[in-house]
Amino acid sequence: MVNYIIRRVLYMIVTVFFISIIAFILINLPPGSALDAQIQRLRQQGGDISMQQINDLKERYGLNDPVYVQYLKWIGGAIHGDFGQSFTYNAPVGELIWSRIAVSVILSLFALIFAWVVAIPVGVYSATHRYTVPDYIVTVIQFVGIAIPEFLLALLLLVFAATVLHMDAGGLNSQQFQNAPWSWAKLMDTIKHIWIPVIVIGAGSTAWLTRVMRANLLDVLNYQYVQTARAKGLKENVVIWKHAVRNALHPLIMSLGTALPTLISGEVIVSIVLNIPSDGPLFLASLQTKDMYLAITFVLLQSVLLVVGNLLADFLLAWADPRVRLE
């Protein structure tokens, strides 16, 4: 077991390392950088900027080095938590990013919990009441739920909130709290707002998980051990929840790994639409302004989240399924 964990963690580090290279190359691909934009701005403001000054700036940001040196410098710093300098914000990337990543993690986590808490009972109900009207309704909602992209759902919700409820569903806080320091009141205000993005981000996963849960349970219900449990004289509820659902969860846990990228993607785009101070809007802005180090750091940290999430999912599976534990 210890061996297995060490191997997995090592593998994880290698993966993240490769991803950092890919991300770095990608983001260095487009011609021009945020620095050019900044130079442009400086020119407009203060007239002339000499080649000397430009060179100084480039030197300061390390843009005169060959790409691989730039990368090595950056990754060397990143290991120590120094992700370089943002050109547009003129501040260390680390300072800009942590609070936003935290919001992202919280949103994704809540969305995941929401999806599971809703999907499991609904899927179980749907499977145990197959071919009844509620089952058909659930099936249709699932299809539509998967067909609506997250950003559209966010948009529809915004419009609905604005036209019918006359409220602003965007953001994570009311106006008066937006720039206020954290306090009890702000926390309550956040809780009041956070459920909207959580539901929107989790909706697609919920629909999908419900479908998987229903199919799995129908499968498991055909196993002999379910009849064994019934033959013991257990209540139908115990048979379903203790004996059948427990085993139907394994594929669900296994699918966590594939569900995470979707979840993170959904979180990014929903945050952009709902204007939530998470990684989404800033990542988009950094791509648009070609704020290199900022963009790379986002991709890198998202990958780290993914890889760690996958690792946790594997551990969870080993904990849940005794057959996996041995291998």
Partner 1 sequence: MAAARGVAAEDVKRAKKKDIGQTSQWTLMRRRFMQNKLSVTGVIGLAIMYFLVLFAPFFAPYAPDDQDSNNQFQAPTSIKLANGHFAVCPMVQKLNTSNFTWTYKPDCNKSEPIQFFAPGFSYSILGILHSNIHLFQVKPPTKIYIFGADDLGRDVLSRILYGGRVSMTIGLVGVTISTVMGAVLGTTSGYFGGAIDNVMQRVIELLLSIPTLSLFMAIAAALPQDMSVIKRYFLISIIISIIGWTGLARQVRGKVLSYSQQDYTAAAKLAGAGHMRIILTHLVPNSLSHIIVVAILAVPAQILAETSLSFIGLGMLPPAVSWGVLLAAAQQVQVVEQHVWLLVPAAFVIITVTLYMFLGDGLRDAVDPYS
Partner 2 sequence: MAETIPSAQSTEIRPTGEDNVIEVLDLHVHFFTTLGVVRALNGVTFKIPRGRVLGVVGESGSGKSVTGFSIMQLVQHPGKIVKGQILLKARKDDQPINILKYDRHSQQMRNIRGNEVGMIFQEPMTSLNPSYTVGNQIQEAILLHQTPDKDEAWRRTVDILRRVGMPNPERIARSYPHELSGGMRQRAMIAMALSCTPSLLIADEPTTALDVTTEAQILDLMRELQKDIGMSIMFITHNMGVVAQMCDEVVVMYLGRIVERASVEEIFYDPKHPYTVALLRSIPRIGLSKGEKLEVIKGGVPDSYSTVTGCPFHPRCPNFMPGICDKVMPAETPIEGNPHHTVRCHLYPGSAAEAEVETSGLAPGTAPAAS
167 binds, among partner 2, partner 1, none (CB under 5 to 8 A by kind): none
Helix 246-254 to helix 256-274 angle, to the nearest 10 degrees? 60
Give the binding range for partner 1 (CB under 8 A) out of 23-31, 176-184, 241-249, 315-323. 23-31
Min. distance of Cβ 183 from partner 1 in angstroms? 28
Q: Which residues contact 212 (CB under 8 A, 6 or more apart)?
A: 119, 123, 251, 252, 255
Q: How far is the CB of 233 from partner 2 (least distance, A)?
A: 4
Q: Which does 324 bind (CB under 5 to 8 A by kind): partner 1, partner 2, none?
A: none
Task: Quote the least distance from Cβ 136 to partner 2, whole Å.
Answer: 16
Our CB check for partner 1 shows the closer of 202 and 240 to be 202
- Identify which of residues 229 and 313 has a Cβ nearer to partner 2 in the complex: 229
Determine if 209 is a binding residue for partner 1 (CB under 8 A): no
Non-local (6+) Cβ contacts of 306 within 8 A are 260, 261, 264
Reference 113, options 180, 34, 206; nearest CA is 206
DSSP designation for 182: P
Chain residues that interact with partner 2, rule: CB under 8 A: 223-225, 227-236, 243, 246-247, 320-323, 326
Mapped onto helix, strand or coil, the DSSP state of residue 86 is: strand
> Applying CB under 8 A, does 299 fall inside the site for partner 1?
yes
Q: How far does Cα 207 stand from its chain's mean position? A: 17
Containing 149, the helix (H) or strand (E) segment is none
Q: How many residues can be counted in the chain?
A: 327
> Do 242 and 202 touch, CB atoms closer than 8 A?
no
**Are the CB atoms for 167 and 245 separated by under 8 Å?**
no
Residue 306's binding partner out of partner 1, partner 2, none, with CB under 5 to 8 Å set by partner kind: partner 1
* Residue 186 contact partner, candidates partner 1, partner 2, none, CB within 5 to 8 A by sort of partner: none
Contact between 155 and partner 1 by CB under 8 A: the answer reads yes
Task: State how far the Cα of 127 lies from the Cα of 249, in Å rounded to an integer.
Answer: 14
Tokens 């659930």 identify what position? 138
239's contact among partner 1, partner 2, none, with CB below 5 to 8 A by partner kind, is none
Q: Which of 244, 269, 221, 5 is nearest to 111 (CA)?
A: 269
With CB under 5 to 8 Å by kind, the binding choice for 157 among partner 1, partner 2, none is: none
Q: Which residues bind partner 1 (CB under 8 A)?
A: 15-16, 18-19, 22-23, 26-27, 29-31, 143-144, 146-149, 151-152, 155-156, 158-159, 162-163, 168, 170, 257-258, 261-262, 264-266, 268-269, 272-273, 283-284, 287-288, 290, 295, 298-299, 302-303, 306-307, 310
